[in-house]
Amino acid sequence: QKEVEQDPGPLSVPEGAIVSLNCTYSNSAFQYFMWYRQYSRKGPELLMYTYSSGNKEDGRFTAQVDKSSKYISLFIRDSQPSDSATYLCASRGNGNKLVFGAGTILRVKS
C-alpha cells in the first residue's frame, strides 16, 4: 500500500465549477500536509500548507485535513482554465522526507 493515495484522474470540469481533489494517507506519523500545482514541464509550485487537522483558506483555494480519517482535500472555487494542471498532495512526518501522491490531472474547460 502506498503511503499517500491519490486518484490520477483526469478530472474534467466546466469553468466556474467547484473542484474537489482528495488524497488518503496511511502513515499516522504524518503531521504536515501540502498541495502542489504542477504545470506541464515545470517544477511543482507550493499552493497550500497545513499543519495537523483543520482548514486553511487562501483566495479561491481551501485545504482540509481530517487526521481521524486520514483524508486530505483541496477545494478550488470558481475554477478557471488557468487552473488546468496536475495537483499533487504530499505529506511529511517530523523528518525531512516528503511523500507524494500520484497527482491528479485537472482540466477546466472554458
Partner 1 sequence: DTEVTQTPKHLVMGMTNKKSLKCEQHMGHRAMYWYKQKAKKPPELMFVYSYEKLSINESVPSRFSPECPNSSLLNLHLHALQPEDSALYLCASRPVLRGNTEAFFGQGTRLTVV
Give the one residue of 46, 55, 57, 109 binding partner 1; rule: CB under 8 A.
46
Give the one residue of 43, 59, 68, 69 binding partner 1; rule: CB under 8 A.
43
- Cβ(108)–Cβ(80) below 8 Å: yes
**Stretch 20-39: interaction string toward partner 1, x if CB under 8 A:** ------------x-x-x---
Which has the closest alpha carbon to 23: 44, 40, 2? Answer: 2
Smaller CB separation from partner 1, 49 or 75: 49
Q: Considering all CA atoms of the chain, what is the largest pairwise distance in Å, rounded to the nearest integer?
A: 42
* Cell numbers standing for residue 64: 482540509
Q: What residues form DSSP beta bridges with 99?
A: 91
By CB under 8 A, residue 92 contacts partner 1: yes
- DSSP summary character for residue 55: E
Give the one residue of 15, 45, 58, 66 binding partner 1; rule: CB under 8 A.
45
Dihedral pair phi/psi, residue 83, rounded to 5°:
-80, -10
Residues that bind partner 1 (CB under 8 A): 32, 34, 36, 41-46, 49, 88, 90, 92, 96-98, 100-103
